[in-house]
């Protein structure tokens, strides 16, 4: 193990900057075309350019009557046609109005729509307009939303319901997206047992594996489950040797300082690996390197540490490899509902809820307590070398920003 980097703590920003540069250098470049139904969560590989105007023609924003305002001097107008959504109207006959419904095309020659609530019908079916009108009112002009040739979604956009709806509104049934990333998940530790098995004295159930598998699936990754690696060099070597065709090896545990780090040893034999000491809590030790050319990230094993380091470092790294530019979570400044009297060397990500507009902490912030994150709505970020009084502003990062 190389101990030289241990002398200095790396800030969260420095670590992220290095990881994002590594991600950029190992960017996934292969693309595939997928139907909209299968594209949720994927990353757009190519700009989406509008192939038509939206709306494609002027349409009515109201149920009512379409007229040419210059034809109206206060007199009732006869109804010359009925235009419902989905039909193509004829040009408006001069001196008349058209019955029209929301979303229907405005007939050529009409420049105004009056909502039906502001009209009355005469006994012979003519329309009385009761209010003053303005030309153009209640008409959604052609191209109001977007116009032919506009870039509507940029390459690198992560697709969700809104983006997919937009693509559908432009008539696209397929999108060109980055291929999925294949990620191997390894859990290390002699103490680990998979759920469903009996638990012996000294053993604990493997929870990180499930956290990472679920989260990676949300990131549209293909997960290769590498199982549990015992704390044994030969078995670690063998397990690594069996991994092929992956884009990333993600492990948890075995990176604590002073521990026999078999994964690190095995990785170093066939690649390069360095141990970073991060100014982050929970977290701190993180390994990053390569094994036979495949990037490897080793996260700390304590469940809350795995959560924080995956969310703040591994997730942005993975998204950047897929070409996403905006990889940082949104955060909000909120008044602290707690005090922080002891300034720390490491930046704290405290599991917190927002209660009545204030950030309130889970009472047990131990890195071993995953329940803290189940209780929490997000992380309160307390910067290094900082104290806080109640009411001071603290950055709150919603978990919903990270768990997608």
**Residues near ligand AMP, by CB under 6 A:** 187-189, 191-192, 204, 206-209, 252-256, 259, 300-303, 368
Q: Please list the residues that pair with 397 across neighbouring strands.
A: 379
Grouping H, G, I as helix, E, B as strand and the rest as coil, residue 400 is: helix
Interface residues with Mg ion (CB under 5 A)?
Answer: 189, 253-254
By beta carbon distance, the residue nearest ligand AMP is: 301
Q: How far is the CB of 212 from ligand AMP (least distance, A)?
A: 9
| Interacting residues of 255 by C-beta distance below 8 A, sequence separation 6+ | 261, 263, 264, 275, 285, 286, 287, 298, 299, 300, 301
- For 139, list phi and psi in degrees, rounded to 5: -115, 130
Strand pairing category for 174-178 and 97-100: unpaired
Q: How far is the CB of 254 from Mg ion (least distance, A)?
A: 5
Q: How far is the CB of 255 from ligand AMP (least distance, A)?
A: 6
Using alpha carbons only, what angle is made at residue 396 by residues 391 and 401, rounded to the nearest 5 degrees? 160
Task: Kindly tell me the burial class for residue 245, based on how many C-beta atoms sit within 10 Å of its own C-beta (0-12, 13-18, 19 or more).
Answer: exposed
| Interacting residues of 349 by C-beta distance below 8 A, sequence separation 6+ | 280, 281, 282, 283, 308, 312, 379, 380, 381, 397
Question: Between residues 15 and 159, which has the closer beta carbon with respect to ligand AMP?
Answer: 15
By beta carbon distance, the residue nearest Mg ion is: 189
User: Of these partners, Mg ion, ligand AMP, none, which one is at the site of residue 192 (CB under 5 to 8 Å by kind)?
Assistant: ligand AMP
Dmax over CA atoms of the chain, in Å, equals: 95
Question: Between residues 161 and 198, which has the closer beta carbon with respect to ligand AMP?
Answer: 198
Question: Between residues 105 and 189, which has the closer beta carbon with respect to ligand AMP?
Answer: 189
Question: Between residues 96 and 188, which has the closer beta carbon with respect to ligand AMP?
Answer: 188
Q: How far is the CB of 265 from Mg ion (least distance, A)?
A: 14
Element (H, E) at 115: strand 112-115
How does DSSP assign 205-228, residue by residue? Answer: E--HHHHHHHHHHHTTPEEEEEEE
Question: Between residues 254 and 316, which has the closer beta carbon with respect to Mg ion?
Answer: 254
User: Of these partners, ligand AMP, Mg ion, none, which one is at the site of residue 107 (CB under 5 to 8 Å by kind)?
Assistant: none
Q: Determine the straight-line distance between the first and last CA of the chain, rounded to whole angstroms.
A: 34
Q: How far is the CB of 388 from ligand AMP (least distance, A)?
A: 28
Question: Between residues 253 and 378, which has the closer beta carbon with respect to Mg ion?
Answer: 253
Q: How far is the CB of 243 from ligand AMP (least distance, A)?
A: 17
User: Of these partners, Mg ion, ligand AMP, none, which one is at the site of residue 206 (CB under 5 to 8 Å by kind)?
Assistant: ligand AMP
User: Of these partners, Mg ion, ligand AMP, none, which one is at the site of residue 208 (CB under 5 to 8 Å by kind)?
Assistant: ligand AMP
Grouping H, G, I as helix, E, B as strand and the rest as coil, residue 325 is: coil
Residue 168 and residue 86: Cα distance in Å, rounded? 17
Q: How far is the CB of 231 from ligand AMP (least distance, A)?
A: 8
Question: Between residues 233 and 360, which has the closer beta carbon with respect to ligand AMP?
Answer: 233
User: Of these partners, Mg ion, ligand AMP, none, which one is at the site of residue 287 (CB under 5 to 8 Å by kind)?
Assistant: none
């Amino acid at each position: 193990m190389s101990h030289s980097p241990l002398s200095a703590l790396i800030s969260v920003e420095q670590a992220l900057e290095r990881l994002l540069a590594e991600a950029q250098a190992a960017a996934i470049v292969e693309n595939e075309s997928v139907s909209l139904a299968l594209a949720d969560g994927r990353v757009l590989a190519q700009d989406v350019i509008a192939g038509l105007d939206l709306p494609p023609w002027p349409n009515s924003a109201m149920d009512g009557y379409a007229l040419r305002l210059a034809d109206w001097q206060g007199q009732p107008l006869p109804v010359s046609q009925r235009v419902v959504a989905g039909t193509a109207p004829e040009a408006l006959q001069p001196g008349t109005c058209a019955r029209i419904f929301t979303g229907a095309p405005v007939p050529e020659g009409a420049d105004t729509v009056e909502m039906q609530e502001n009209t009355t019908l005469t006994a012979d079916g003519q329309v009385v307009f009761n209010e003053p009108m303005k030309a153009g009112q209640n008409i959604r002009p052609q191209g109001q939303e977007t116009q032919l040739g506009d870039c509507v979604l940029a390459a690198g956009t992560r697709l969700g319901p809104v983006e997919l709806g937009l693509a559908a509104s432009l008539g696209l049934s397929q999108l060109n997206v980055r291929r999925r990333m294949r990620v191997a998940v390894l859990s290390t530790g002699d103490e680990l047992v998979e759920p469903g098995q009996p638990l012996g004295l000294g053993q604990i159930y493997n929870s990180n594996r499930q956290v990472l598998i679920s989260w990676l699936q949300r990131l549209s990754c293909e997960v290769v489950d590498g199982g549990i690696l015992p704390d044994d060099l030969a078995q670690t070597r063998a397990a690594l040797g069996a991994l092929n065709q992956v884009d990333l090896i993600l492990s948890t545990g075995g990176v604590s300082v002073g521990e026999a780090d078999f994964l690190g040893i095995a990785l170093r034999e066939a690649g390069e690996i360095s141990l970073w000491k991060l100014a982050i809590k929970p977290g701190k030790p993180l390994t990053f390197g390569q094994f036979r050319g495949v990037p490897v990230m080793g996260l700390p094993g304590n469940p809350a540490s795995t959560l924080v380091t995956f969310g703040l470092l591994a997730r942005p790294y993975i998204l950047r490899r897929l070409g996403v530019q905006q990889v940082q979570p949104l955060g909000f400044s909120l008044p602290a509902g707690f005090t922080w009297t002891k300034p720390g060397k490491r930046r704290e990500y405290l599991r917190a809820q927002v209660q009545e507009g204030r950030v309130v902490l889970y009472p047990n912030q131990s890195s071993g307590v995953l329940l803290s994150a189940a209780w929490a709505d997000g992380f309160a970020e307390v910067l290094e070398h900082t104290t806080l009084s109640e009411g001071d502003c603290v950055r709150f990062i919603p978990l919903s920003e990270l768990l997608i």
